[in-house]
């Protein structure tokens, strides 16, 4: 089994707007047999901005599950 974890932060600023984005990532891979692989990925994103947009504070979560077979 393999696992991975990561985080990132990005700030963008100008005279008219400031945007902050933070991401957290978690992933895993399991190979129970030689040609079979199961994958799981989880991503959480937080975005804050002072712009006049519909959702200035956005939180988004993505989860992906996968299966691979090599032949």
Among residues 9, 68, 66, 70, the alpha carbon closest in space to that of 42 is found at 66
pLDDT in tens, the chain (71 residues): 899 999 999 999 998 889 999 999 999 999 999 999 999 999 999 999 988 888 889 999 999 999 999 99
What's residue 12's pLDDT? 95
CA 1, distance to chain mean position in Å, is 20
* DSSP letter, residue 35: T
Q: Which helix (H) or strand (E) segment is 34 a member of?
A: none
pLDDT of residue 34: 92
């Amino acid at each position: 089994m393999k696992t991975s974890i990561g985080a990132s932060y990005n700030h963008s600023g100008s005279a008219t707007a400031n945007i902050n984005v933070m991401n957290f990532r978690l992933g895993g891979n399991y190979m129970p047999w030689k040609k079979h692989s199961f994958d799981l990925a989880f991503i959480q994103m937080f975005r804050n901005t002072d712009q006049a947009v519909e959702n200035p504070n956005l939180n988004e979560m993505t989860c992906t599950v996968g299966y691979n077979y090599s032949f």
